[in-house]
Structure 1
Amino acid sequence: MSKGKIIKALSGFYYVLDGEEVIQCRGRGVFRKKNVTPLVGDYVVYQAENETEGYIMEIKPRRNELVRPPIANIDQAILVFSAARPDFSTALLDRFLSVIEANEIKPVICVTKIDLLSEEEKKKIDWYIEGYQSIGYDIIQLSSLTGDGIKQIFPVIKDQISVLAGQSGVGKSTLLNSLHPDLDIKTADISDHLGRGKHTTRHVELLRIGEGLVADTPGFSSLEFPDMEAEELSSTFPEMVKFGESCKFRGCVHINEPGCAVKQAVKSGEIQNYRYEHYQDFYQELKSRKPRYSK
């Protein structure tokens, strides 16, 4: 028996990194019976039938996992959002941030295509960036076209397992090609009709970039919240955690309660109004979600 990490899943095969070697494996039938699917990022025990093929025998306990993209044991999520084409979306970014925070994964915000902005548009993006930085989020601004900001990525991903996530067309594959030109990952233009990018990445794979592993993931435009109660949502908004300590009532969910310090902070401008509006939307979404019963 040997141990390794799954770095790619494709067409029923799992590619396990063991030292410098990659072994192509299949999952045992027992995983299907237990409704367990091996994920990229899983630490596994495998048995090799020969030098290049084997079977995954055991999946080690996961530190965390995401459903979309399907990946486990992540140190940080680099959330790639474009400043333009497609337009910068705080609603989508806040959803990503909330889901990532709920999974106890460190988020890093990466704003691409800065070079496409006019001076006036840049001021608006800068205002948003300053707001997220004031909450405590790390932000990298870059242009894969001009190369601005690319070098800032390497120290961020060093010795980390990172997932690169964001909707289609924001420049994830272009960014990876800039970081590691030998990858030559396929990219596609934005659809002017739909206003979003075409899907160019078809599977999840951990790639060696600099001194870290980075997962390129299929583009998507939405994320499902994990199995958590609506009352737990505020814990995924760092600024609400901070001001929520001063709320009049214990267990305040910052919606209709009197003496709510969070609502007061929104009123005073200490919490951005758009962040609070997104929180309200997510809260109602969780409250109206049908209960999920385990089998």
Structure 2
Amino acid sequence: MSWLTDVDDEDDDKYADYEARNRPNPKGNRARTKIRPEHTDAVTGRVFTVDRGRYSVIVGEGTPEEHAALASRASELRKQPIVTGDYVDLVGDTSGDEGTLTRIVRIQPRTTVLRRSADDSDEVERIIVANADQMLIVVAAANPEPRPRLVDRYLVAAFDAGLTPILCITKTDLADPTEFLANFAGLDITVVRSGVGAMPTAEIAALLEGHTTVAVGHSGVGKSTLVNALVPDANRAIGRVNSVTGRGRHTSSSTISYRVGSGWVVDTPGVRSFGLGHVNTENILRAFTDLAVIAEDCPRGCTHLPDAPDCAMNERVAAGELGDSGRLRLDSFQRLLASLT
């Protein structure tokens, strides 16, 4: 069996100086790297609407050169949502000329984020708008009937996101909204009512000056009508309310920002539900400032639910100290707590 050893030694000598040929990289010979360019020459833009992977942005906002441009996202941002209201960094052709496409390479830090989930048990959140500081809640006095619980949910989402709520009541020529507004008597909220057959355009426009305001509301309440009154060239589709179900038809299918004076109004699609699965239950009380003061007298760890022992809110409502409006407010607050816990 010694011949095997001899053969191995000969092969070793034969191939001692052999150098294996390096195969070419099929994707090119340049080594891959995770180091991304810094894009120090990037231009800031503001996203005002999103449509099937394309982002309409305002470049040079507030300057004489302000203009719109169309953008795509860089591949490294493919897992990050870019939403209406985002401030982004752009590279490439930002001229906005027909046929040009700039590229979003960074999303700047957001000051606020308004979110909702499909329902209260859904932990997947949907970002509606970024960097807003006000929420305009549009409610019809009738046709469709106002829904206090839905407004409560808007308020919770607004306070959770750090937005200042404004309540706009439309269609007051059809019904008196006084009873409905009693549900929110304990909250320090600006309320604007429409006139007979007319939207409170001037009053709302004054409240929007210098702010980014997201408009929300149940389908059919007149939200898009209000946006069209504020921005005549918006041409938002206006829905009709079904005479049988009393429900509005979804008309606005996209979230889009419009300039109103020195501010922005962000019109959102009408919704019939507003899930709060993403909200920390501890933040809900912030939407009920009148009850929050009373809750300071509750024992430590109080759940504030109807069966909570020694709950100061329950005791004061039971004693009739808060009146009917207080009772309704506490009921709304506890319903929200129960749905989330």
Q: Same fold (TM over 0.5)?
A: yes
Q: How does 1:31-110 map to 2 (within 5 A)?
A: 31-32=77-78, 35-49=79-93, 51-52=95-96, 53-68=101-116, 70-110=128-168
Identity percentage over the alignment? 29
TM-score by length of 2: 0.76
C-alpha deviation, 1:66, in angstroms: 2.1
Q: Quickly say closer, same or farther: Cα 1:257–1:133, change in 2 above 3 A.
A: closer
C-alpha deviation, 1:98, in angstroms: 1.2
C-alpha deviation, 1:227, in angstroms: 2.7
Name 1:251's counterpart in structure 2.
Answer: 301
Name 2:228's counterpart in structure 1.
Answer: 177
C-alpha deviation, 1:74, in angstroms: 0.7
221-230 vs 157-166, which deviates more? 221-230
C-alpha deviation, 1:157, in angstroms: 0.4
Name 2:252's counterpart in structure 1.
Answer: 201
C-alpha deviation, 1:138, in angstroms: 1.0
C-alpha deviation, 1:194, in angstroms: 2.7
Q: What are the Cα deviations for residues 122-170 of structure 1, in whole angstroms up to 9, with x where unaligned?
A: 1xx2133255244211111114x62253321111100000000011100
Contact 1:234 1:253 in 2 (8 A): no
Report which of the two has the higher share of helix: 1
SS at match of 2:192: strand
C-alpha deviation, 1:269, in angstroms: 4.8
Match of 2:237 among 169, 173, 186: 186
Contact 1:41 1:73 in 2 (8 A): yes
SS at match of 2:219: coil
261-270 vs 14-23, which deviates more? 261-270
* In 2, Cα distance between equivalents of 1:175 and 1:148: 6
TM-score by length of 1: 0.87
Matched, 1:282 2:336: yes
The alignment of Structure 1 onto Structure 2 pairs a total of residues equal to: 277
SS at match of 1:274: helix
Contact 2:44 2:87 in 1 (8 A): yes
Q: How does 1:118-157 map to 2 (within 5 A)?
A: 122=176, 125-143=177-195, 146-147=197-198, 149-157=200-208
- Please tell me the residue identity of whatever aligns with 2:218: Q
SS at match of 2:335: helix
Q: Quickly say closer, same or farther: Cα 1:88–1:245, change in 2 above 3 A.
A: same
156-165 vs 89-98, which deviates more? 89-98
Name 2:50's counterpart in structure 1.
Answer: 9
* In 2, Cα distance between equivalents of 1:48 and 1:265: 63
Cα RMSD of the aligned pairs, angstroms, is 1.9
Q: Quickly say closer, same or farther: Cα 1:45–1:77, change in 2 above 3 A.
A: same
- Please tell me the residue identity of whatever aligns with 2:219: S
* In 2, Cα distance between equivalents of 1:9 and 1:193: 34
C-alpha deviation, 1:250, in angstroms: 2.1
Q: Quickly say closer, same or farther: Cα 1:72–1:94, change in 2 above 3 A.
A: same
Name 2:17's counterpart in structure 1.
Answer: none
Name 2:171's counterpart in structure 1.
Answer: 113
219-228 vs 268-277, which deviates more? 268-277
Contact 2:85 2:129 in 1 (8 A): yes
Match of 1:26 among 69, 72, 75: 72
Q: Quickly say closer, same or farther: Cα 1:162–1:234, change in 2 above 3 A.
A: same
Q: Quickly say closer, same or farther: Cα 1:158–1:229, change in 2 above 3 A.
A: closer
